[in-house]
Structure 1
Amino acid sequence: MKIIHIIDSTSIWSGKIFRWAALLLSMVVIYEVASRYLFNNPTVWAFDLAMYFYSMLYLLGGAYVLWEGSHIRVDVLFNQFSKRTQAVIDIIFYVVFFFPYVSVMVWWGYKAAFWSWKAEEISNTSQWGEQIYLWKALIPIGFFLMLLQGIAELVRTIGKLRRDTNGA
């Protein structure tokens, strides 16, 4: 299906772009450690910037990880089941747990980001005073990408179940 290909391509694209956040995160942490412990000159911005990059990596890379099939699963048990049973378990998981969770996160993330942007919210716990509304905008975007990829995975799983049922 063309829409599934578009969703997969979007997830792959976001994963390939935002995986660079890991490198940026490492650079910020290394800079802060060197600055703090070698030169006794800590920064006011490194911790918060590291949190930005980690959030970016976590939220905007989630759809790619879902596409890749790398989210945590208890494979010791799951692999003992037949392919048909695995597909049924996956479908139940998506319908009962995944879609309600990511839908709530998109909705509440959107509301939080909207009000944060409207107020031009800045951090009140940081000396740097960074803009929180940019950070909060990552929440609905990241979970929306995961929602799309979840739809693609569910359609793929239903297709596998149909093929296994018809082929058996």
Structure 2
Amino acid sequence: MSPLFLIICHNAQPTLPILLRYYTMIETAIRRYCLAIHALVAFVGKSISYLMPVLAFVVAFEVFSRYFLNKPTIWAYDLSLFIFGYIAALGGAYAQQQRAHINVDILYNKVSPRMRSLFNIISFCLAIFFVAIICKMSIGKFEEALQFNYRRQSEWAPHMHHYWVMMAVASFMLGLQLSSDLLEEGFHLITGKTLLPDSIRNVEETPHD
């Protein structure tokens, strides 16, 4: 064995603990980021679910007013549309977190866990691209709605700027959740280990090996 090789190995030994320490620090930072995003998205998703009974009440009140009192309201239809839009959009990030979106799994379930992570990474990158476009367009629509005082073309004619604020916030939160999922799948693809505990999600999904 050459003296040069021994010198290189001797000098490289102290760097191994340093590399392991940096690896642990990076892994911890990524895990904390993902856990923070999961907590935020779960809070918003569960909070927005309380609008479901409000939506049911608005629809029921309109039915009662229209068919029993013969006095239909001018606001119930628009309000129910807004509430439904809030629930669907702001709940999108939580649905992504719980992996509740529809997945075409004909090929997906037949490949290895790491290959599934690769498929997920490609899907999440594409999703982040389109979500960024939606967020940018929503901000532009919000500015237009304020500038030109956009209203719904109905008898009640409510303002529309709040809706575009909601769309921008919803798309931004979905982008955050996708970034967390992207890091999680990338970590599994590289290391073969799961970054977050399986209990963080409520739905059943195929576990990583």
1:161 to 186, 189, 200: 189
Q: Kindly report which structure 2 residues correspond to 1:136-151, keeping only aligned pairs within 5 A, or say none.
A: 136-151=164-179
The CA deviation string for residues 4-33 of structure 1, in whole angstroms up to 9 with x for no partner, is 111111100110111112221111111111
**Identical columns (%):** 25
Structure 2 residue 33 is the aligned partner of structure 1 residue 3: yes
Structure 2 residue 143 is the aligned partner of structure 1 residue 117: no
Structure 2 residue 85 is the aligned partner of structure 1 residue 50: no
2-structure distance, mates of 1:9, 1:33: 38
Shift of the 114–84 alpha-carbon distance from structure 1 to 2, 3 Å rule, reads: same
| Superposed CA RMSD | 1.6
TM-score by length of 2: 0.74
1-structure distance, mates of 2:145, 2:107: 43
Structure 2, unaligned runs of 5 or more: 1-30, 194-208
3-state SS in 1 of match to 2:91: helix
Give the greater-gyration-radius structure (CA): 2
Aligned to 1:29: 59
TM-score by length of 1: 0.91
Q: Which stretches of structure 1, 4 residues or more, deviate above 6 A after TM superposition?
A: none
Task: Kindly indicate which of the two structures has a greater share of residues assigned to helix.
Answer: 1
Aligned to 2:154: 126
Aligned to 2:24: none
3-state SS in 2 of match to 1:152: helix
Structure 2 residue 132 is the aligned partner of structure 1 residue 103: yes
The CA deviation string for residues 113-164 of structure 1, in whole angstroms up to 9 with x for no partner, is 12212333222x1111211111121111100000000000000011111232
